[in-house]
Every structure is written in C-alpha cells, then in structure tokens.
Amino acid sequence: ENLLAKRSDLDYILIECSGLANPGPIASVFWLDSSLESRLRLDGIITLVDVMNIEQQLQETQEAAQQIAYADRILLNKIDLLQQPSQSEQSGNMATLSASESPNQQQ
C-alpha cells in the first residue's frame, strides 16, 4: 500500500520470489484483485534458470516447470560453465518447455 501511495514516483515494482515458487498465485493477484487492477498491471514474468541444476529441479518439483511456463523472458544463469553444445541444448530445452507448458495457452 505504501508503494501504491508513491505510484507517481515509480516506473516499476519488481517482485522477487525466492527459490522455487509457483508464479501463478502471485500473477493472479493482478488479474483478480479489482482494487489493484486499476492501479497496477503485470508487465511480465522473468524466470532465472540455474542451468547447472535445472534438470534435477524439473524432476523433483512442479514449480520449476511452472516458472518456465509462466515466463515471458527466461534468463539462463551459469551458462558459461557448460560446454558449447550444451549451451545451445539448454536454450532449446527452455524454449520447448516454455511453449509447451504455457498457462496462457491452456483452455
């Protein structure tokens, strides 16, 4: 509420969800809360993917796939630690996951 009171001084509000959090409930606040809807809009969701651990996270949790699916932008972290062919493979994997699991495409 304090941020909204200073809205004229703000260009963006960045909400950082630490760890493996499902972005759906957070994003839905901007779609469902009529009091916020008129003052704020969801501009996008950015997901930071740790390429060294993403395969394990995808196997162990649903949240990793949900974060990728909801993302408008995916940033690959630690990509410099991978061998060159793996870099292209990881980028392709993220694009495939994002397109195939996008909640916006569900009916």
pLDDT in tens, 44-54: 889 888 888 98
How much is the pLDDT for 107?
28
Q: What is the pLDDT of residue 99?
A: 53
Q: For residue 107, how many C-alpha atoms fall within 13 Å in the half-sphere facing its CB?
A: 0
Query: What string of pLDDT tens digits covers the 107 residues of the chain?
Result: 676 676 666 677 778 877 778 888 888 877 665 665 556 678 888 988 888 898 899 999 888 888 888 888 888 888 888 776 555 565 666 655 555 554 443 32
DSSP SS3 for 42: coil
pLDDT at 56: 93
CATH node for 2-105: 3.40.50.300
d(CA 30, CA 12): 14
Reading the block at residue 35, the tokens are: 């009091």
Question: Closest Cα partner for 72 from 92, 40, 94?
Answer: 94
Taking residue 58's Cβ as centre, other Cβ atoms within 10 Å add up to 16
Integer Cα distance of 60 and 58 in angstroms: 6
